[in-house]
Every structure is written in C-alpha cells, then in structure tokens.
Amino acid sequence: MITTQHGQQPDEQLMLAYQAGQQKAFDELYQRYRQPIFAYLMRNIGSQMQAEEVYQEVWLSLIKQRTRYTATSSFRSYLFCIAHSRLLDFYRQQGKLAANDQLHEDDATLIACAWHEPDMQLEEQRLIAKLQWCISQIPEEQRAVLVLKLESELSLQTIAEQLNIAFETLKSRFRYAQAKLQRCLGGGES
C-alpha cells in the first residue's frame, strides 16, 4: 500500500479502491473533499441552498462515473472537473449560460477538465508526437540548448556558463531553435 507523507493513501489509490467496491475508500475521499468542493460551489453560486443541490449532484456524478475513472491525472482535478461540469449545468438550467457556453474560469481548470475527455487525450497525444518530431528536426547544437532551457528552467546566461559557450552564441542557437520549432508547429514566421 502506498501512503503519502502524512500516512494517508493517495486520492487516486482510494478512488481505485472505491471502484473495486471498497465503500470506506469513498468515505475517505468524501471527508477530504467535502469542504473544498462546497467552498468552490458557494464561491461561484452564492446561494447556500442552490450550492447544496449542485454539491449533491457532484457526488452523485462521481458515484455514477466511478467505473470510468482512470488514474491518468490527479483525482483532485478529476473531482473538480465534475464540480465544474455540474456548475455549468446549473447555470444552463438557470438560463445564465447557453448550451454551448463555457464558464470563464482560470485556464488551468478548463485544461484539467478537458484532459478527462477522450478527444482531448487523443489530441494531446497527437500534439506531443508532433512536438517530439519537430524538436528532432532541429540541428543538434540548437536542439541541445532548447531542450536544456525548457527542461532546466535555467537562465540562458547560466546555461552558457555551464556549457562554456559564449553567451551571444548560445542566445542565437536558442532563438534559431525557437523559431524553427514555432514554424514546424504552425506558429508562423518569427
């Protein structure tokens, strides 16, 4: 059994246990997330009575969807995506959103929610494959600088010092690599 630093089972493991029929796993998830989910709904709805109704829908949705859960991302994002979807449903029922409108929240929430949709997973896999191919087409000297910068998050100055390359040379390689990557990915000329 895997446990977190506080001796608790990870949320994803609990959800998989609940999927397998362990009710106690659901009880633990409910205890962990009842307050954050309700606070999220209250912040967006404002009315306690309406927030409580949507809150019940969130948990009912989780129960109904438990067989479809896969631990491909955090359980927290999965549960908040369900809450976000139920919130959108609530707004549509209230006439505050059209059927195809989205609630404008932070992009991280929408991206996390989209990850759970099979079409988005397939699109992400396609984009990753294209990104990997585009990076492989960049000349080695430029590619090395680009990958090091993106993965290490070090400054170009620090990378130049570590690789013992003149700063201006490294900066040029990085700019050329960026431009080639952008063109390859369809971002136009730079």
Tens-digit pLDDT profile for residues 23-41: 999 999 999 999 999 998 9
Helices 23-45, 75-93: axis angle to 10 degrees equals 50
CATH 1.10.1740.10 fits 11-116, yes or no: yes
Domain boundaries, the chain: 11-116, 123-184
pLDDT of residue 140: 87
Longest dimension (CA), the chain: 64
Q: How far apart are the first and last CA of the chain?
A: 51
Distance in angstroms (rounded) separating the CA atoms of residues 42 and 89 = 15
Domains 11-116 and 123-184 share a fold: no
Tens-digit pLDDT profile for residues 84-104: 888 888 988 887 655 445 544
Tens-digit pLDDT profile for residues 37-81: 999 898 888 889 999 999 999 999 999 988 888 877 788 888 888
Q: Which CATH architecture has domain 123-184?
A: Orthogonal Bundle (1.10)
Residue 189 has pLDDT above 60, yes or no: no
- Residue 83: name the closest of 113, 128, 63 by CA: 113
